[in-house]
């Protein structure tokens, strides 16, 4: 199933990036990378993911603020 999701999202990556904006896409990239490392890093990975989620939330707030 994850392969199907990747096959769907990958061709639309540039459009998603234009619509969402560079900061939001970068936050998601960091979050996904950290989630991949969680198995290797244990608790440290969980802490880093929590920080990434907070960064993502702050970015969404900044994007929504002018609206």
pLDDT at 44: 66
Contacts of 49 (CB under 8 A, 6+ apart): 31, 34, 35, 38
Give the end-to-end CA distance of the chain in Å, rounded to a whole number: 36
Low-confidence ranges of the chain (pLDDT < 50): none
Q: The tokens 């960091």 sit on which residue? A: 30
Alpha-helix runs per DSSP H in 1-67? 2-9, 13-20, 22-41, 43-64
pLDDT at 35: 64
pLDDT at 16: 75
pLDDT at 43: 64
pLDDT at 22: 81
pLDDT at 45: 65
Contacts of 35 (CB under 8 A, 6+ apart): 45, 49
Note the pLDDT tens digit of each residue in 20-34.
Answer: 788 887 887 777 776
């Amino acid at each position: 199933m994850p392969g199907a999701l990747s096959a769907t999202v990958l061709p639309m990556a540039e459009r998603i990036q234009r619509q969402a904006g560079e900061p939001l896409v970068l936050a998601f990239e960091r979050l996904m990378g950290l989630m991949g490392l969680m198995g290797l890093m244990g608790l440290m990975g969980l802490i880093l993911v929590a920080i990434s989620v907070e960064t993502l939330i702050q970015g969404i707030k900044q994007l929504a603020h002018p609206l």
